[in-house]
Amino acid sequence: MSYKRFDTEDVVVSAESITSPVWSFGATTLTTFFTSSTQTGGTSADYYYNVFNTGSALANSRVQFAIAYADKKGSGSLNFNVNVPGKSPSSTVYGQYRNLVLGDEDSDFTFGSKTSETFYVLSIERARYKEKLLPGTLDLVLGISGSGARLRLTDDSQVNSTIRFNDAGRVYELVSGSQGSVYTTQNANGYSDASGSYGKLLPDVGVILLNAGALDLATGSAGGIQLATNRGSNTAALNQRKLYDAIREGGSFRIQAEETVS
């Protein structure tokens, strides 16, 4: 029996991009949002809210993402120690994401061209995706009950030819729009010059940052939804609950995952 040695041309390596829904049970869009009274009533609620796809008592209920509020000055939450002002759950969350996204303790977050000391975090549950999120598929609707305020957000990956990077990988600005299509109602960039972009999409770590300053603006031409983030010092403001209510009122959160298979 004779054998033939493999040559380099005998081996072919290919890579394909596979997309899939992020949410449990193949749902492309999340339209119902629930919290667990056990979790929101515990100490972890000072830092974040877990959001489920169905009522937590049901067997098919799964955590889909978490909501947190970050504040550089520690405002909007109670201090760990009354004698140490500014050190609170919100400052802890800010420091955590500053290290993850910016990679040091001295840099500040910027949204568009505006620096901000406060933002909200949507952290997609790691079990919901295999490798990364897919830019251009984000469609998040926020609303305020009773006011009729609505805001639809996407990322700018489809209109920005330059890919930007930070310590968390690729980074895209959040703008007014849907699934990559930008609404230019505020300016050509899709957001208000007064506050900067609506946030950032960090697809490689499954994180969405939402600029509190942009969401707090008045409705209409200002481009906000009057979320009314509370930055009171040593105050249990539960701002993460405000964003949860806005997501629930909006009733639509869509994003897909992407995986490269070789």
Averaged pLDDT of the chain: 93
Residues 8-17: contacts with CB under 8 Å, at least 24 apart: 13/262, 14/262, 15/260, 15/261, 15/262, 16/260, 16/261, 17/258, 17/259, 17/260, 17/261
CA atoms lying within 13 Å on the CB side of residue 40? 16
Q: Is the pLDDT of residue 187 over 80?
A: no
Q: For residues 49-66, give the mean pLDDT.
A: 87
What pLDDT, on a 0 to 100 scale, did the predictor assign at position 211?
98
Q: How far is it, in rounded angstroms, from Cα 38 to Cα 43?
A: 10
The one-letter code for the residue type at 253 is: F
Q: What share of the chain has pLDDT > 70, as a percent?
A: 98
What distance in Å separates the CA atoms of residue 233 and residue 90, rounded to the nearest whole number? Answer: 11
Indicate if the alpha-carbon torsion angle 98, 187, 223, 137 is positive or negative: negative
pLDDT of residue 86: 95
Which pLDDT does position 58 carry in this prediction? Answer: 66
Residue 59 has pLDDT above 80, yes or no: no
User: Which residues does 102 contact at the CB level (< 8 Å), separation at least 6?
Assistant: 109, 166, 167
Predicted pLDDT of residue 246: 98
Helical H segments across 100-251, by residue range = 212-215, 239-250
Span 154-182, pLDDT tens digits: 999 998 888 899 999 999 999 999 998 88
